[in-house]
Structure 1
Amino acid sequence: MPRDHSHGCGSECNDHDHIPEAQGHRDNLYTRIDRDNIVALNAEGRASSVIKPWNERMGEEVYLESDADDQLILRIPFTGSVKLRALLLKAGPGDQTPAKVSLYSNADALDFSEISDQKPTQEFEVPQGREVGEYHVMSAKFPATTSITLFFPASQGADTIRIYYVGFLGQWSERKSEPIIAVYESRGNPADHLRLRGLQGATAP
């Protein structure tokens, strides 16, 4: 399995080597992806089709292919907050392999008109091959990720790019509700408070 060793991966690259095939990676985030809300831009096919169970990762019958040219954007939301450890990717074949993949954390609104002006959180070159590549990210850059945007800016020579499988490794936690912001006053001003309906002259606590 191709791996990227240039980003401080160290010994953690080998912590899944002997996991049973049926189980896959202990920290595979497949069940934590919000598949109903995945968005693909400039793509032929269903956006969620490349989010497959671990045991289907090598299949090539179902894929996502770029449409008008060899660029593609894939926005993938999670059902909670993720500390990302690695991207899993199977693409190609041959010249239809993307030259690289750029990852953007929590950048839900990026499109082609602006993504090239934004610095990616991290990016990787993609080698040609029929295996699933494993790209270890700098976890400190993805500490509380609720969505990942993948940008494939060009192929390795073909008119289109093709993606067969996208997966992620990491730690998932339930998304915390929006914080309640309380403003504490040293001296209350009745004029600043809403009056409760039906209580004349009384103010809300």
Structure 2
Amino acid sequence: MSHQCEHEHDHHHDSPPPATNNAQSLFSFVNTPNVQCLNTNSHGSSDSAACFIKSRDDQYDVSKYLESDADCQMILHIPFTCICRIFSLVLRTSRSSSGTTSPKTIKIFKNFSKNIDFDTLEDSKPQHEVEHPRDVGIDLDGAPRTEITDTDDSSFVEHHLPRHLFQNAHSLTLFMQSAWEDDEDITRCFYLEMRGESAGQKRGNNAVPLLTVYESAPNPVDHQKLENEQQGSSLGM
């Protein structure tokens, strides 16, 4: 990606953020059926998540996208199937044109446990906040394109996150709060890629980590005691 935002304030480190790469995509760890999108309309697919969480093979596809409904704001809540460490976000959004605007302020929450709605997020402090660059993205001229792909790499923006704040993440919530132009205009999200790594702990559908306890060194004495107890129980029945 040719456009990177490295000006986000991370007082924990003064040095530039480490570079990321395509192999660090967390696409395979997204719990797609449980992705939530608020104040959005999906285009090109009935599945809202598929409109913006795309594989690397589909990163240039502009026939599918998510757009805000009543105004510029939208909420994207993305759970993972395992615990993750998140390094950066790669976004491809709309540019300003007739009726559309570029998002400006994006608040980023890790493991948000309260009600996911606009009032709650407005009043909550995020782990991080970024300013998306003005007028960088895709311009559909107010209407869907007939082209299926757009290979302009300069329309992608990578936002590096403070890594010490985004460890042990089982979900990520993005609140696109304001826009560069009129807040009543709509914003569009064509692509969102999260980069990082899995910590290896699998999660179930109820969002509770699934932990397996292994016996590091089986003790034959313990197994003999268990067999004797089972035999004694059988005799007493």
Tell me the TM-score normalised to structure 2 length: 0.67
1:177 and 2:210 are equivalent in the alignment: yes
Structure 2: segments with no counterpart, 5+ residues: 138-154, 203-208, 214-232
> Match for residue 26 of structure 1?
23
Q: Structure 2 vs 1, CA of residues 31 and 97 (structure 1 numbering), >3 Å: closer, same or farther?
A: same
Aligned to 2:106, which of 101, 106, 111?
101
Kindly report which structure 2 residues correspond to 1:70-89, keeping only aligned pairs within 5 A, or say none: 70-89=72-91
Deviations 1:76-127 (A, max 9, x none): 0111000110011100122521112111000153211211111111111111
Q: Structure 2 vs 1, CA of residues 165 and 43 (structure 1 numbering), >3 Å: closer, same or farther?
A: same
Deviations 1:159-181 (A, max 9, x none): 1111100110001122343699x
Q: Structure 2 vs 1, CA of residues 179 and 117 (structure 1 numbering), >3 Å: closer, same or farther?
A: farther
Deviations 1:21-44 (A, max 9, x none): xxxx11111111011111100001
1:168 and 2:194 are equivalent in the alignment: yes
Please give the alpha-carbon distance, in whole angstroms, between the structure 1 residues aligned to 2:72 and 2:17: 35
1:122 and 2:128 are equivalent in the alignment: yes
Please give the alpha-carbon distance, in whole angstroms, between the structure 1 residues aligned to 2:210 and 2:27: 23
> Match for residue 220 of structure 2?
none
Aligned to 1:142, which of 157, 163, 166?
166
The Cα shift of 1:10 comes to 2.1
The Cα shift of 1:11 comes to 5.8
Q: Which amino acid aligns with 2:201?
A: E
SS of the aligned residue for 1:3 comes to strand
> Match for residue 151 of structure 2?
none
Please give the alpha-carbon distance, in whole angstroms, between the structure 2 residues aligned to 1:179 and 1:100: 41
Please give the alpha-carbon distance, in whole angstroms, between the structure 2 residues aligned to 1:155 and 1:63: 18
Structure 1: segments with no counterpart, 5+ residues: 17-24, 181-198, 200-205
Deviations 1:43-76 (A, max 9, x none): 0114202000112222221110111111100100
Aligned residues: 172
Please give the alpha-carbon distance, in whole angstroms, between the structure 2 residues aligned to 1:101 and 1:179: 37
SS of the aligned residue for 1:171 comes to strand
**8 Å CA contact 1:47, 1:74 repeated in 2:** no
Please give the alpha-carbon distance, in whole angstroms, between the structure 1 residues aligned to 2:129 and 2:60: 23
Identity among equivalent pairs (%): 25
Please give the alpha-carbon distance, in whole angstroms, between the structure 1 residues aligned to 2:193 and 2:107: 15
Q: Which amino acid aligns with 1:97?
A: S
Q: Which amino acid aligns with 1:162?
A: R
**8 Å CA contact 1:154, 1:161 repeated in 2:** no
RMSD of aligned C-alpha atoms?
2.1
**8 Å CA contact 2:48, 2:66 repeated in 1:** yes
**8 Å CA contact 1:103, 1:121 repeated in 2:** yes
**8 Å CA contact 1:65, 1:162 repeated in 2:** yes
Tell me the TM-score normalised to structure 1 length: 0.77
Please give the alpha-carbon distance, in whole angstroms, between the structure 1 residues aligned to 2:87 and 2:125: 20
SS of the aligned residue for 1:140 comes to coil
> Match for residue 56 of structure 2?
54
